[in-house]
Amino acid sequence: MKIYRSIERERGFTLVELLIAIFIFAIVISSVYGSYRATFHIVHGSEYQLKTANSARIVMERLSEDLGSIVTGPGGVFQGVSHTYSDARGDSLSFVSSAHLVLRKTDTLSGHAYVQYLPELDLDTGFLNLYRVDSVLLPGAKRDGDDAEKHLICSGLLEFRFTYLDQEGNESEEWQVEEEVSPNGDADPVEFQIPSLVSVELKFAESVESDSSTVFKTAFALP
């Protein structure tokens, strides 16, 4: 008697099946990676927007405090100068304010302060860094903020610009006025005219070559 046994031969994947599996796997990986990149881009964009918004808020709040306490009487000064850095605006502003900011125990606690907002070009990044200078004006002392310590309040700026409006609504990019005694030597000062409104614009970008930017604007009515 002959006994026949069925022997099942092991069967592997064919080349076509293997290629189809690799193709499907590539599609799945591409979809997952695309979703990951999109999510990472959104997170990165949100962090960047939050950082720029916080930087702009700090500058606006500090400007509001300083300009809200501006000195317009004897000893006052208001100088807004427009500067250009690599085709971008970086304006400076100097004025006398009673909002002296005390940062150290050794600082003078009171008195008028000569406040300056000074942008400087960062050669490493191509962006502007914004510094605030606060030097106390002591009686009889000459106003000079050159030797005062600078405090960085904002970095990564593409542009920083001021616009000034006078009492008649005329707009100007610069403003130069300083209180002085009249030429005849009496005690009556020359009329001190400051802008009625100061507008400020901060422009941020992720890189100096970027085509897109984030702009923050506000305006301050001077007393």
Domain presence at residue 5? no
This prediction has a pTM of: 0.72
For range 158-176, the mean pLDDT: 93
Is 72 within 8 Å of 97 (Cβ atoms)? no
CB atoms within 10 A of CB 111: 11
Domain presence at residue 146? yes
Residue 210 has which token pair?
Answer: 């970027």
Domain presence at residue 27? no
Domain presence at residue 6? no
**Residues in contact with 109: Cβ distance below 8 Å, sequence separation at least 6, in sequence order:** 100, 102
Q: State the Cα–Cα distance between residues 211 and 119, nearest whole angstrom.
A: 22
Q: State the Cα–Cα distance between residues 207 and 202, nearest whole angstrom.
A: 15
Domain presence at residue 78? yes
Angstrom CA distances, 118 to 23, 91, 166, stand at 59, 7, 23
Domain presence at residue 125? yes
Residue with the bigger pLDDT between 193 and 10: it is 193
The predicted-structure confidence for 129-164, as pLDDT tens digits, reads as follows: 999 998 887 655 555 555 678 899 999 999 999 999
Q: State the Cα–Cα distance between residues 27 and 20, nearest whole angstrom.
A: 11
The pLDDT of residue 168 is above 60: yes
Range of the domain at 166: 44-221
Residue with the bigger pLDDT between 42 and 168: it is 168
Residue with the bigger pLDDT between 24 and 201: it is 201
What's the number of domains the chain is made of?
1
Domain presence at residue 33? no
- DSSP, collapsed to helix, strand or coil, labels residue 218 as strand
Domain presence at residue 79? yes
Q: State the Cα–Cα distance between residues 55 and 28, nearest whole angstrom.
A: 41
The pLDDT of residue 201 is above 60: yes
Residue 144 has which token pair?
Answer: 């000079």
